[in-house]
Amino acid sequence: MPTPDVRHNPAQNRFEIYFENTLAGFVEYAMEGETFALNHTEVFPQFGGKGIGTALIVKALDQIRELGGEVLPYCPFIPKVILDHPEYIDLVPHPARPQFGLA
């Protein structure tokens, strides 16, 4: 399976995932200071069931870490990914973790 490509698109406040050069989905955010409030994740139906959503979130979290940001995972899919990949829990501010089931 080809490796999906995740690109930060700050003009639209989202991270986008491309699969074979086709936009396959995105995660939208709003900035709260240096914190990315991740509000909505969408994978287009034709790309469902391929792990695209998880790949998108993991790669977006990698890029947020590189940018020195933190994460508020309001989209209910994202805390599930973080629980499966606990190396990203440090991106969620400690006081906010219980709100997202990450305590």
Q: Is 20's pLDDT higher than 90?
A: no
Residue with the bigger pLDDT between 53 and 103: it is 53
Q: Is 1's pLDDT higher than 70?
A: no
When pLDDT is averaged across residues 81-97 and rounded to a whole number, the result is 98
HSE-CB for 25 with a 13 A CA cutoff: 22
How many structural domains compose the chain? 1
Q: What is the pTM of this model?
A: 0.94
pLDDT in tens, 28-84: 999 999 999 999 999 999 998 989 999 999 999 999 999 999 999 999 999 999 999
23 pLDDT band, cuts 50/70/90, is very high
Q: What is the CATH number of the domain that holds 87?
A: 3.40.630.30
Structural domain boundaries, residue 95:
5-100
